[in-house]
Amino acid sequence: DGRYLFDGRLLDVENSEDLTETSRSKARLSTLGKITDDQTVIFSPENPKYTVTVFTDIDCGYCRKLHQEIAGYNDKGIRVRYMFFPRSGVGSPSYDKAVSVWCADDRNQALTDAKGGKDIEARKCDNPVAEQLEMGQDLGVRGTPSIFLEDGQMVPGYVPPAKLVAMLEAKQAEAHGQAQAQAQAK
């Protein structure tokens, strides 16, 4: 009848599963699945094993730290798809930098330069920055960097390359184990 409200996570104690996060991950996965590569700035190894989507702010210190280690992520087989999340909002200097990066002839170099503190040429063009900011808010992004794994799980904050690949490997092993269990059950 609407008299009571439950606010919090629902945990399946018997199976050690956070049902709330599982549900949120599925919803995030649906949204993230609609993003095409041409809507992102991608740093990728030749043969990636994993793909993560990172909502980033050019002026965020931990976002810069993550980007300084982009070669380390790529060396571990991680493909990074960047989306913009200027925390200060539309019309802020961070927003304008994100638009300039998007409108640059070489987005990857412009992003690297901007995150390295270099001035980049101010540019304007049709861009997805405001839409990406809104999408990030809809996905529950509250800070940057926010890393989304292939299953839709959100990992807030900076994660070093070795730790991120360990998380991705564990997820992959878990998914493989679940697939085997389902096959045996049939």
- Please confirm, yes or no, whether 106 is among the known catalytic residues: no
Give the three-class secondary structure for 141. coil
- Please confirm, yes or no, whether 59 is among the known catalytic residues: no
- Please confirm, yes or no, whether 125 is among the known catalytic residues: no
Mean pLDDT, residues 57-70 taken together: 97
Q: How many Cβ atoms sit within 10 Å of the Cβ of residue 163? A: 11
Query: pLDDT tens digits for 97-109?
Result: 999 999 999 999 9
Catalytic residue among 64, 87, 96, 103: 87
The total number of residues shown for the chain amounts to 186
Closest to 41 measured CA to CA, from 120, 125, 127, 134: 127
Q: Does 10 score more than 80 pLDDT?
A: no
Query: pLDDT tens digits for 16-40?
Result: 766 666 666 677 777 888 899 999 9
> For residue 42, what are the contacts with CB-CB under 8 A and spacing of at least 6?
79, 80, 81, 82, 108
- Mean pLDDT for all residues in the chain: 90
Catalytic residue among 57, 59, 64, 79: 57
- For residue 42, the cross-strand partners are 81
